[in-house]
Amino acid sequence: MKPHPKEETTFVLIKPDGVRRGLAGEVIRRIERAGLKIVALEMHQSSKEEIDRHYPKDEAWITRLGEKTLSTYEKYGFDAKEEMGTDKAEKIGPQVRGWLIDYMTSGPVVKIVVQGVHAVDMIRKLAGNTQPALAEMGTIRGDYSVDSAASANKDKRAIHNLIHASETAEEAAHEIEHWGMKGKIHIYTRIEEGL
């Protein structure tokens, strides 16, 4: 039987721009006020190798990175061949992945394990769209950042969007393990759980 929905866990990283902008508290506040429970928390300076292992390596995922570039190029009228030397998502993706490793190792991150009802989807909803310029106001990325693939790629860097959040329960389980947080989870009840 599947566990109770309130036992679902997910993984969040406050990215180096979030930490350096002093937004760690704000991110944590938004998670807590939504009724989600923080069950593990730690600051960490990542190595390139750790980030390389954190993000998927499969072709579909890497191509999806390139597609984000192509979609904003189309929306804002940029020529992919002129800007990136190619209009193939699968060729743009690997370049973006490299920039992502540089970005994610540019300063400390905060690792957070979050538990609560449909935690994975709830945190994705709090985070907002990958591209802050497309993220709704009221989301963390929409309220505190403005960036897009078109802008980031022009500067040969990854999109700065303050936080990482697991996309699926499987991704969350992999990431909690990968970031060494499995043995650091605290079990307690929040007042509103009524236990």
Among 50, 83, 167, 169, binds ligand ADP (CB under 6 A): 167
CA-closest candidate to residue 94, choices 130, 134, 58 = 58
Tokens of 96: 């973006």
- By beta-carbon distance, which residue lies closest to ligand ADP? 130
Q: Is 100 in the site for ligand ADP (CB under 6 A)?
A: yes
**Minimum CB separation from ligand ADP for residue 33, in Å?**
22
3-state secondary structure the chain: CCCCHHHCEEEEEECHHHHHCCCHHHHHHHHHHCCCEEEEEEEECCCHHHHHHHCCCCHHHHHHHHHHHHHHHHHHCCCHHHHHCCCCHHHHHHHHHHHHHHHHCCCCEEEEEEECCCHHHHHHHHHCCCCHHHCCECEHHHHHCCCCHHHHHHCCCCCCCCEEECCCHHHHHHHHHHCCCHHHCCCCCCHHHCC
**Minimum CB separation from ligand ADP for residue 57, in Å?**
12
The residue among 40 and 165 lying less far from ligand ADP, judged by its C-beta, is: 165
The residue among 51 and 181 lying less far from ligand ADP, judged by its C-beta, is: 51
Q: Which residues bind Mg ion (CB under 5 A)?
A: 167
Q: Is 95 in the site for ligand ADP (CB under 6 A)?
A: no
Q: What, of ligand ADP, Mg ion, none, does residue 172 touch, CB below 5 to 8 Å by kind?
A: none
**Minimum CB separation from ligand ADP for residue 23, in Å?**
15
Among 9, 105, 145, 153, binds ligand ADP (CB under 6 A): 153
Burial of 195: CB neighbours in 10 Å, binned 0-12, 13-18, 19+: exposed
**Minimum CB separation from ligand ADP for residue 48, in Å?**
15
Residues numbered 57 to 86 that lie near ligand ADP (CB under 6 A) are: 64-65, 68-69
Q: Which residues bind ligand ADP (CB under 6 A)?
A: 64-65, 68-69, 96, 100, 130, 149, 152-153, 158-159, 161, 164, 167
The set of catalytic residues is: 164
